[in-house]
């Protein structure tokens, strides 16, 4: 984990240096929106409707990697941590998941547990919901104890991308799609998940090329170039 944060710090610092020229360009070109959007000369630029453009030196410095969205067999196998809140007459526990994925959990069974209901009372404020499950176990855990619940389904062939390609933000879930010489942040809807891949139910076609790393750094660059006002398409 420490090594990951160390790498993140280095790449953010690298982007900061490369974007320095863009920042100066933006301040000079406030009266010329098209010129500001291009942001030429800093190694990284942004154009509305097309996305980010990176010169070869930036691509190499970031270690940018891409892969195609493709059809593949995918077995849902998600391990959730749930907290016990009731022990009689049933042992009930709750696990928090993104609201956008709640419907998916309703459609498939759990191993060693049964979905009782989904509590959506906090979804509007937090974009999260609580899965309430009844545990199938002979011993009685203590209230407040954390237990592991396995959500699993049979493999099916779906359109999927690497889990590292996803960007989860307050505005939704996105991927960066290769758009000619640009990288366009694109909203997607997700379905089944394995340890390495995520099903894409809407937003991509088979053969679309997406960035698999480093997605967070591209998002930071877009935020800076658009002053936090980037738009997805």
Local mean pLDDT, 10-residue blocks, the chain (233 residues): 42 48 40 42 86 95 97 84 93 91 77 89 89 89 92 84 93 94 96 88 97 96 83 58
pLDDT at residue 28 in the model: 35
pLDDT at residue 33 in the model: 43
- Report the alpha-carbon distance of residue 188 to residue 98 in Å, rounded: 14
pLDDT at residue 83 in the model: 96
My answer on whether 19 and 121 are in the same domain is: no
Residue spans of alpha helices (H) in the chain = 2-28, 33-38, 56-62, 102-106, 123-126, 215-225
As a whole number of Å, the CA-based R_g of the chain is 21
pLDDT at residue 139 in the model: 87
My answer on whether 161 and 71 are in the same domain is: yes
Query: Per the structure, how many domains does the chain have?
Result: 3
My answer on whether 54 and 86 are in the same domain is: no
pLDDT at residue 227 in the model: 83
My answer on whether 137 and 86 are in the same domain is: yes
220 belongs to a structural domain: no
My answer on whether 85 and 113 are in the same domain is: yes
Q: Which of 118, 152, 186 corresponds to the end of one domain?
A: 152
- The pTM of this model reads 0.61
Residue 188's domain comprises: 65-75+156-213
């Amino acid at each position: 984990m420490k090594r990951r944060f160390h790498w993140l710090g280095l790449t953010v610092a690298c982007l900061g240096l490369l974007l320095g020229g863009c920042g100066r360009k933006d301040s000079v070109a406030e009266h010329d929106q098209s010129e500001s959007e291009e942001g030429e000369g800093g190694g990284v630029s942004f154009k509305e409707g097309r996305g980010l453009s990176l010169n070869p030196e930036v691509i190499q410095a970031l270690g940018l990697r891409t892969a195609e969205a493709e059809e593949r067999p995918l077995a849902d196998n998600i391990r959730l941590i749930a907290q016990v809140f009731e022990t009689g007459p049933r042992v009930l526990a709750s696990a928090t998941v993104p609201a956008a994925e709640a419907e998916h959990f309703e459609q498939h069974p759990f191993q060693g547990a049964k979905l009782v209901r989904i509590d959506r009372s906090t979804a509007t404020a937090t974009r999260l919901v609580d899965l309430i499950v009844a545990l199938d176990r002979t011993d009685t855990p203590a209230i407040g104890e954390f237990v592991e619940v396995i959500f699993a389904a049979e493999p099916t062939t779906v359109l999927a991308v690497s889990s590292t390609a996803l960007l989860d933000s307050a505005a939704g879930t996105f991927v960066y799609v290769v758009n000619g010489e640009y990288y366009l942040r694109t909203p997607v809807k997700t379905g089944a998940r394995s340890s390495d891949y995520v099903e894409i139910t809407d937003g991509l076609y088979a053969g679309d090329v997406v960035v698999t790393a480093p997605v967070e750094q591209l998002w930071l660059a877009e935020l800076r170039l658009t002053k936090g006002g980037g738009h997805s398409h």
